[in-house]
Chain A
């Protein structure tokens, strides 16, 4: 897994609550047996028109947000299906972090496993950051995982919570399976008791 330490990137606001993983990556793209190639299908039904052209009204298609790597969304982002294809699609599109007031549990877990940082911030902070992103073309944020902080251009910092283990894994790009396998003896003891 890629390590995550610090990131500075352009911000795109997706003003929707309860964005489900069926929207993040629709089922017709789940038939692949590879782990790659999902980025172009991210938010497919919102992003493309019936004829396959980009939907000019969808926020990711606005030229001013091109190259965005930080997504801001409403509450309960990533609800629904456990498909890890959702974080794969977000990551392969270029997102490094998602900011929202809350996340669905399985989705949040899946993000950590793929080097994407899901950051929960209070709803009023999300609303104001999202407003800034709309008001200021090229709006950027800096994320410092070590400090657990989202830092605005004017220096304002918003701290966020993350579990110690998740933080450790992200900072070090840790292979979790390798981690567990170091305790193989304990697993064997458990199995034989």
Chain B
């Protein structure tokens, strides 16, 4: 039978599958961070259980870490306690930890691929919904809750039902100034934030093939914002080149053998998906969200919508709520909206290529007087690389703050938050109410658009930016 990539990975990871039982799926890699794991480790202790495969488990600190000078003590004592707890748990259960002082520390979805932990064909889970990021290398990667973290720690398995398959095909060439971020925002705008519920999305087509691995990560990262269980992209030469030489990746002959195996992963020709969608890359414009979820998005040339134009009463009410929260009037051109803050970072857009793209826009320019802007690299490794290339100098000279690695203002668990009423152009993935700080107003954009917005003080069409 012809199979999709998802079905191939699924089937080869079944420990048990009989018709009248819930399938038991083996997990190759378990990534752990400080926020969603403490109760799972506590559960193990209460039940006198061990971690089955500490060698397949990796931990880091990202959500809570301050992004200011790491030599200073952490002022948020509850956050500090959570990080301490992770360190204690990792030492008690023998799990490798990239802690706040580690040169490898970073956002869990940035360091996994960077260290070669993320590989094609693997099953990867983490107590974090953006685990879908790792699907960019052809892995089946998805987010789980704390009870499931405990389950994986204890058994290295999960009880899982098979998902539907959903092919989203993007053919054609992306226009100038249009990025991977715009692809995924356009997709979410198209299918809605629950359009992927119950499904694993595979992104295919020539526009996806043309993306670098880092760009593919941006696309897969936000699969969850369309409600999908996971997002994935078949591995190809771009993937193998990316993986070669990474720390935990196979080396030498083992690498060649692995590549031969990975070549079997892509979806068979003529395999069928449960759902399909096709979009034309040439028709995608730079995207800006205007509302309080990632599906409330439009072209930068568009306008804030009118609730009266919504198809259903529920959508009308939701749009009214969103516009009230965002303090926007129907019909306002997107490019008329001024911002107070700019955030370049998060597991969606904090990799070296994102920072290069933003720096290219920032170079020789100045952040507007009315705007405060910050760049937060996704990992210490990204930060070192950026500094080696002088990107930090470009950003600083333009008036951006240059920070240490972490999740930062993507969710504002650390001191990096919006003040009530502040409006932010952000390269992160969620514009939910209060996400970046209570009363804060988030607009999601690409790194290029964020940098240009910092300079002009209002949203600007990057295609016309001089």
Cβ distance A152 to chain B, nearest Cβ, rounded Å? 22
Q: Could you tell me the distance in whole angstroms from the C-beta of B214 to the nearest C-beta in chain A?
A: 23
**Tier of interface size on chain B:** 35 or more
Which chain B positions have C-beta within 8 A of A164? 20
A147 at the B interface (CB under 8 A): no
| Residues of chain A from 74 to 126 with CB closer than 8 A to chain B in the complex | 74-76, 79-85, 87, 102, 104-106, 109-110, 113-114
Measured CB to CB, the nearest residue on chain A to B16 is A186
- A79, B194: Cβ atoms closer than 8 Å: yes
Would you list which residues of chain B between 299 and 350 have a CB under 8 Å from chain A?
A: 314-315, 317-318, 321
A66 within 8 A of B: no
Indicate if the CB atoms of B412 and A27 lie closer than 8 Å.
yes
Interface contact B145-A176, CB-CB below 8 Å: no
Does A155 reach chain B (CB closer than 8 Å)?
no
> Which listed segment binds A: B34-42, B272-280, B363-371?
B34-42
Contact partners of A35 in chain B: CB under 8 A: 39, 42, 146
Do B82 and A31 have beta carbons less than 8 Å apart? yes
For A180, give its contact among B78, B146, B151, B438 (CB under 8 Å).
Answer: B151
Q: Is there contact, CB below 8 Å, between A177 and B432?
A: no
A62 an interface residue at 8 Å Cβ cutoff? no
Query: Is there contact, CB below 8 Å, between A180 and B227?
Result: no
Inter-subunit contact B35/A31 (CB<8 Å): yes
* B136-165 CB contacts (< 8 Å) to partner A: 143-148, 150-151, 154-157, 159, 161
A75 touches B194 (CB 8 A): yes
Residue B419 lies at the interface, judged by CB distance under 8 Å to chain A:
no
Using CB atoms, name the residue of chain A closest to B150: A177
Contact partner, B432, options A23, A105, A191, Cβ 8 Å: A23
- A106–B154 touching, CB < 8 Å: no
User: What per-residue 1/0 map shows which CB atoms of A167-193 lie under 8 Å from chain B?
Assistant: 000000001110111011011001100
Which A residues lie within 8 Å of B21 (CB)? 165
Q: Are B159 and A82 in contact (CB under 8 A)?
A: no
Q: Do the beta carbons of B144 and A183 come within 8 Å of each other?
A: no
With a cutoff of 8 Å between Cβ atoms, the chain B residues found around residue A144 in the complex are none
| CB <8 Å contact, A114 and B434 | no
The interface size of chain A toward B, counting residues with CB under 8 Å, comes to 51
**Does B441 sit within 8 A of A, measured CB to CB?**
no
Whether, in the assembled complex, A33 has its beta carbon less than 8 Å from a beta carbon of chain B, the answer is yes
State the total of A-B contacts with C-beta under 8 angstroms.
164
A118 to B43, CA, bound (A): 24
Which one of B82, B224, B293 contacts A33 once the chains associate, using CB atoms below 8 Å?
A: B82
Chain B window 379-413, contacts with chain A (Cβ cutoff 8 Å), 1 for yes, 0 for no: 00000000000000000000000000000000111
Interface contact A17-B318, CB-CB below 8 Å: yes
In the assembled complex, how far is the CB of residue A30 from the closest CB belonging to chain B, in whole angstroms? Answer: 5
CB contact between A113 and one of B26, B82, B148, B293 (< 8 Å): that residue: B148
For window 12-69 of A, CB contacts with B under 8 Å fall at 15-18, 20, 22-23, 26-28, 30-35, 45
Q: Nearest chain A CB to B155's CB is how many angstroms away?
A: 5
A110 to B288 Cα, complex, angstroms: 32
Distance in Å from the Cβ of A37 to the closest Cβ of chain B? 11
**Given the complex of chains A and B, what is the CA–CA distance between A3 and B22 in angstroms?**
19
Query: Is B15 in the interface zone, CB < 8 Å from A?
Result: yes
Considering only residues 24-70 of chain B, those with a C-beta below 8 Å from chain A are 24, 26, 35-36, 38-39, 42, 47, 49, 52, 63-64
The reply on B173 being an interface residue by CB < 8 A is: no
Q: Are A45 and B318 in contact (CB under 8 A)?
A: no
Is the beta-carbon distance between A45 and B22 smaller than 8 angstroms?
A: no
Report how far A187 CA is from B159 CA in the complex, Å: 12
Chain B residue nearest to A184 (CB atoms) is B155
Within 8 Å of chain A (Cβ to Cβ): is B81? yes
Q: Which of A15, A109, A110 has the most CB of B within 10 A?
A: A109
Q: Is B197 an interface residue (CB 8 A)?
A: yes
Cα of A32 to Cα of B78 in the assembled complex, Å: 7
Q: B197, A31: Cβ atoms under 8 Å?
A: no
Check B129 against A81 for contact (C-beta < 8 Å): yes
Is the CB–CB distance between B147 and A110 below 8 Å? yes
A176, B85: Cβ atoms closer than 8 Å: no
A109 and B21 alpha carbons, distance in the complex (Å): 17
Complex CA gap A102/B47 in Å reads: 34
**Among the interface residues B21, B26, B128, B434, which one has the most CB atoms of the partner chain A within 10 A?**
B434
Contact A83 B36, beta carbon cutoff 8 Å = yes
B450 on interface, CB distance cutoff 8 Å: no
Shortest beta-carbon distance, A92 to chain B, in Å?
13
> Beyond A76-B197, A84-B147, is A179–B38 a contact (Cβ under 8 Å)?
no
Chain B residue numbers with a CB within 8 Å of A32 are 78, 82
Asked if residues A76 and B227 are in contact (CB atoms below 8 Å), the reply is yes
Is B193 positioned at the interface, with any CB of A under 8 Å from its CB?
yes
Given contacts A17-B315, A18-B193, A187-B26, contact A177 B412 (CB under 8 A): no
Bound-state CA distance A181–B412 (Å) is 38
Which of B15, B36, B128, B430 is close to A22, meaning CB atoms less than 8 Å apart?
A: B430
Q: Is the CB of B79 within 8 A of A80?
A: no
Is the pair A105, B15 in contact by a Cβ cutoff of 8 Å?
no
The verdict on B351 contacting chain A, using a C-beta distance below 8 Å, is no
Q: Which 9 residue pairs spanning A and B have beta carbons closest together?
A: A113-B147, A33-B38, A84-B145, A110-B145, A165-B22, A76-B194, A82-B143, A84-B146, A82-B129
The chain A residues found within 8 Å of chain B, CB to CB, are 15-18, 20, 22-23, 26-28, 30-35, 45, 74-76, 79-85, 87, 102, 104-106, 109-110, 113-114, 163-165, 175-177, 179-181, 183-184, 186-187, 190-191
Could you write out 16 A-B pairs with CB less than 8 Å apart?
A16-B317, A18-B293, A30-B63, A31-B64, A74-B314, A84-B39, A104-B227, A106-B144, A109-B144, A175-B47, A176-B147, A177-B47, A177-B49, A183-B16, A187-B15, A191-B156
6 new A-B contacts, CB < 8 A, other than A31-B78, A81-B128, A186-B15, are A83-B35, A102-B194, A104-B197, A165-B22, A177-B150, A180-B151
